[in-house]
Amino acid sequence: MNDTFLKACRGEPTDYTPIWMMRQAGRYLPEYQKVRSGRTFLELCKTPELCVEVTLQPVDILGMDAAILFSDILIPMEAMGLELEFLEGRGPFFPQTVRDRATLDRLIIPDPDESMGFVMETVRLLRKELKVPLIGFAGAPFTCATYLIEGGSSKVFWETKKMMFTDPDLFHGLLEKITRCTTAYLLAQAGAGAQALQLFDSWAGILAPSDFEACALPYVKRIIADLKPTGLPIIYFANNGATLLEYSAASGADVIGLDWRINIGDAIRRVGDKAVQGNLDPLALLLPADRLRVRIKNLLDDAQAAKGHIFNLGHGIHQFTPPEQARIAVDAVHELSRR
C-alpha cells in the first residue's frame, strides 16, 4: 500500500510529494467516456462496479497517489428527497427548488446506508482493489445549499443571497438539515472504508468574509468536529478562498485545499501548522512539457515550508485536457520532489 498521500496529510515526512487531481475521473479520459457512453451520469453513479472502474482509471493510467470515490456532491441532496437530473452540457438541475418553509420541512435526513448504499458498496469494493488511499467526499453545506436554492449552477446566486439576506431563519434551517445529512453521509463513508475525507466548498468564494463566517464556516466546523473521532484526515477546499484562508484554517481540517489564485508559499504562511493541497492552475496543464515542468518545480519550491504538501490542481481538471499532459505533470511531481 502506497500511503505517501496519508503521510503528507498528517504532516509526516515523505519520500516524494504525492499528487492527485480534483475531478481526476472524468470526461477528459477516453476510458471514462467509454464507460459513460450509453448511460446517464446518474446511472453511472448508482452502479458500484462501474464507479469502481472509473475511480481506478486515473490511478492506473496516470499514476495518481490517491483515488477519489466516483460520485457527486449532489447525490446526498437527491437522497434528501429532491428530484435531481444532470442535463447534457448544462450540468445539475433540481426541478423543485427549496425556497420556502414547506419544502424545507419535507426534506428528510436520509439513512446513508439505506438510500445511498451504492456509494458505500463502491467504497467497500474499491478498498479491495486499491493500492493507494481512497478519499471519500461530500459538498460543504453552503455549496450544496446553492444548488438546492438556485435549482442548478448559477453566476450571480440571486436566490441564494436573497434568502440569506431576507430570510435568514429559512436559510440557516436549510444549512442545518444539509449539515446533519452530510455528517451522517461522511461517517458512513468512513465506516465503509474511506481513508480520508474531503469537503468541497466550490462556491465559498462568492461570499463576503463576514457572511462566510456566519453562514458557511460554522457548519463546516461542526461536520469536521463530528468526523474527528474517525481519526481520518479531513481536507477542506474552499474554491476561490484566498481571502478566506484564516477562516478555512480555523475549520478544524487537517489539510487546506488551495485554488490557484494565490501563491502557495503565501498561503502556507497564512494557514500555519497545517498541510496544504494544491494548487496548479488546471489550464497550466496545457503548457509545453518543458515549461510545465518548470512551473511544477517552482510550485514545489514555493511549498517547501508546508507542514505537508499534497500536489493537486487548484480546481477540477478541465474536460478538454489531453491526458498525456496530466501524465507529464504526475511524472514531473514525482521526479522533481524526490528526496
**Cβ proximity to ligand CP3, 82 vs 336, nearer residue:** 82
Q: Is 180 a catalytic residue?
A: no
Q: How far is Cα 2 from Cα 322, in angstroms, rounded to an integer?
A: 26
Binding residue for ligand CP3, selected from 24, 183, 277, 279, defined by CB under 6 A: 24
Binding positions for ligand CP3, 134-173, rule CB under 6 A:
137, 153
261 binds ligand CP3 (CB under 6 A): no
Which stretch of DSSP H or E encloses residue 58? helix 48-62
Q: Is 27 a catalytic residue?
A: yes
SS (H, E, C) 19-53: ECCCCCCCCCCHHHHHHHCCCCHHHHHCCHHHHHH
Phi-psi region for residue 88, left (φ > 0), alpha (ψ -120 to 50) or beta? beta
Q: Is 273 a catalytic residue?
A: no
306: helix, strand or coil:
coil
Q: How far is the CB of 175 from ligand CP3 (least distance, A)?
A: 17
**Cβ proximity to ligand CP3, 27 vs 221, nearer residue:** 27
120 binds ligand CP3 (CB under 6 A): no
- Taking CA atoms, 160 is separated from 4, 157, 255, 269, 326, in Å, by 40, 5, 28, 33, 35
**Options 27, 127, 295, 327, the catalytic residue:** 27
Amino acid type, 55: T
**Cβ proximity to ligand CP3, 142 vs 293, nearer residue:** 142
Q: How far is Cα 195 from Cα 126, in angstroms, rounded to an integer?
A: 11
22 binds ligand CP3 (CB under 6 A): yes
Q: How far is the CB of 88 from ligand CP3 (least distance, A)?
A: 7
**Cβ proximity to ligand CP3, 51 vs 336, nearer residue:** 51
**Cβ proximity to ligand CP3, 16 vs 86, nearer residue:** 86
36 binds ligand CP3 (CB under 6 A): yes
Half-sphere exposure of 63 (CA within 13 A, CB side): 14
Q: Is 147 a catalytic residue?
A: yes
Q: With 0-12 CB in 10 A as exposed, 13-18 as middle and 19+ as buried, what is 166?
A: exposed
- List, by residue number, the catalytic residues: 23, 27, 36, 72, 147
Q: Could you list the residues that contact ligand CP3 (CB under 6 A)?
A: 22-27, 36, 41, 68, 70-74, 86, 91-92, 137, 153, 200, 202, 239, 316
